[in-house]
């Protein structure tokens, strides 16, 4: 066995310290959610809860409709991600394989539009959904996200990397575009699609600004905004706040632990839409 070098030990110490800082808020949130009122306000703080209670969860679930918020978040995420994935596949295929007038120019315009911040279009989108009469309805959290230039761009790039000769061979054999897309392109692009779905799900689950604008009644709120109103309107105590926050974060933590490699690769390739 090699003897430990001082530099290796220092390297590990630094990395471990950094990792602990990155992960500490999650540890603090989850342990805090099980602490009693005395335990959470103790100073010096208890790194490990001395007394464990489930009361905070019961209190949070009883005072605010977190089950409803959770369901709304799931509905909004599943619906917007499925619709968006479908429109993305169709558009990416058209831009990658089909030939039509103005294809390059249109795609260039779309790329330029990608630079426009969401915070700018939000002004008009807010009025659009009011005029459409879907303000304060769950569908207002779904249809503005029914198509995404960003994901279309990512998928189009992947489609471009599939050899064109494959497409021509299939066309010679009389395979329709539709059949080729679903039988050849989509199966090959599965890892890419999987990453897009993951990133989109995370973005939808965590979105805060749009739900804050588009919804105001309790029965259509999603988790992040529901959590925020629960804390500000109720003046929730720390331990209750941590229990409610854990409810919001836990599904994404589980998703991350299971799919870490895909998420990290996706972010490394395309960046996260922030």
Partner 1 sequence: MNLYAKNLKNPPFKKRIEPFLYLLPFTIGVAIFTLYPIVNVFILSFKENYRHLTGKYSGFGFANYRSILKDPYFIQAIQITFKYVLIVIPFAVALSLMIANLLNQKTKLSGLFQTMYFLPLITSVTAVGLTWKYMFNYRSGIINFILNLFGLNSVNWLQDPNANFWALCIYGIWSMMPFTIILLLSGLQNIDPRYYTAAKVDGASSLRIFFRITVPLLSPTIWLVVIINTISAFKVFNELFPLFAGPGIGHNLYTLVYYIYHQFRGLTPPKYGRAAAAAIILFGLILIFTRIQFLIQRWNREIHGEKSK
Interhelix angle 223-234/66-97, nearest 10 degrees: 150
CA-based torsion, 216, 220, 225, 226: positive or negative: positive
**21 forms part of the interface with partner 1 (CB under 8 A):** yes
Question: Considering the complex, what minimum distance in angstroms separates the CB of residue 202 from partner 1?
Answer: 5
**131 forms part of the interface with partner 1 (CB under 8 A):** no
Question: What's the CA gap between 17 and 40, in Å, rounded?
Answer: 24
Question: What's the CA gap between 204 and 65, in Å, rounded?
Answer: 20
**Residue 128 structure tokens:** 């659009």
| Near partner 1 by CB under 8 A: residue from 3, 117, 174, 187 | 117
Q: Name residues contacting partner 1, limited to 170-199 (CB under 8 A).
A: 171-172, 177
Q: Name residues contacting partner 1, limited to 207-236 (CB under 8 A).
A: 208-209, 212-213, 223-225, 227-228, 231-232
Instruction: From 54-62, 64-72, 182-190, 257-265, give the range in contact with partner 1 by CB under 8 A.
Output: 257-265
User: Strands, E, within 123-267: which ranges?
Assistant: none
Q: Which residues contact 166 (CB under 8 A, 6 or more apart)?
A: 184
Closest CA to 193 of 76, 115, 116, 90: 90
Instruction: From 20-28, 56-64, 154-162, 185-193, give the range in contact with partner 1 by CB under 8 A.
Output: 20-28
Closest CA to 213 of 114, 274, 130: 130
Show the binding pattern over residues 237-256: x = contacts partner 1 (CB under 8 A), - = does not. -x--xx--xx-xx--xx-xx
Count interface residues toward partner 1 (CB under 8 A).
95
Closest CB to partner 1 among 103 and 183?
Answer: 103
| Near partner 1 by CB under 8 A: residue from 76, 91, 141, 185 | 91
Closest CB to partner 1 among 72 and 246?
Answer: 246
Task: Report the chain's terminal Cα–Cα distance, integer Å.
Answer: 47
Question: Considering the complex, what minimum distance in angstroms separates the CB of residue 261 from partner 1?
Answer: 9
Question: What's the CA gap between 88 and 181, in Å, rounded?
Answer: 12
| Near partner 1 by CB under 8 A: residue from 6, 48, 104, 115 | 115
**138 forms part of the interface with partner 1 (CB under 8 A):** no
| Near partner 1 by CB under 8 A: residue from 144, 189, 192, 196 | 144
Q: Name residues contacting partner 1, limited to 26-55 (CB under 8 A).
A: 26, 28-29, 32, 40-45
**4 forms part of the interface with partner 1 (CB under 8 A):** no
User: Strands, E, within 218-265: which ranges?
Assistant: none
Q: Is 162 helix (H, G, I), strand (E, B) or coil?
A: coil
CB atoms near residue 231 (< 10 Å): 16
Q: Name residues contacting partner 1, limited to 51-80 (CB under 8 A).
A: none
């Amino acid at each position: 066995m090699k003897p430990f070098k001082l530099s290796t030990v220092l390297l590990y110490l630094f990395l471990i310290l950094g990792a602990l800082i990155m992960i500490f808020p999650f540890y603090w949130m989850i342990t805090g959610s099980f602490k009693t009122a005395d335990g959470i306000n103790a100073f010096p703080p208890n790194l490990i809860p001395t007394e464990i209670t489930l009361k905070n969860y019961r209190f949070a679930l009883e005072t605010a409709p977190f089950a409803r918020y959770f369901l709304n978040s799931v509905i909004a995420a599943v619906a917007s991600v499925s619709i968006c994935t479908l429109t993305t596949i169709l558009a990416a295929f058209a831009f990658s394989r089909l030939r039509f007038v103005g294809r390059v120019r249109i795609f260039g315009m779309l790329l330029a539009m990608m630079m426009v911040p969401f915070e700018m279009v939000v002004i008009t989108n807010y009025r659009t959904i009011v005029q459409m009469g879907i303000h304060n309805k769950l569908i207002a959290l779904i249809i503005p996200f029914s198509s995404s230039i960003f994901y279309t761009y990512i998928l189009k790039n992947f489609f471009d990397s599939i050899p064109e000769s494959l497409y021509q061979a299939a066309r010679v054999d009389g395979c329709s575009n539709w059949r080729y897309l679903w039988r050849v392109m989509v199966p090959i692009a599965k890892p890419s699609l999987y990453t897009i779905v993951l990133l989109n799900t995370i973005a939808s689950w965590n979105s805060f600004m749009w739900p804050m604008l588009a919804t105001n009644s309790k029965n259509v709120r999603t988790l992040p905004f529901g959590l925020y109103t629960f804390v500000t309107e109720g003046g929730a105590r720390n331990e209750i706040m941590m229990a409610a926050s854990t409810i919001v974060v836990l599904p994404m933590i589980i998703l991350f632990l299971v799919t870490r490699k895909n998420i990290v690769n996706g972010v490394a390739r395309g960046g996260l839409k922030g």
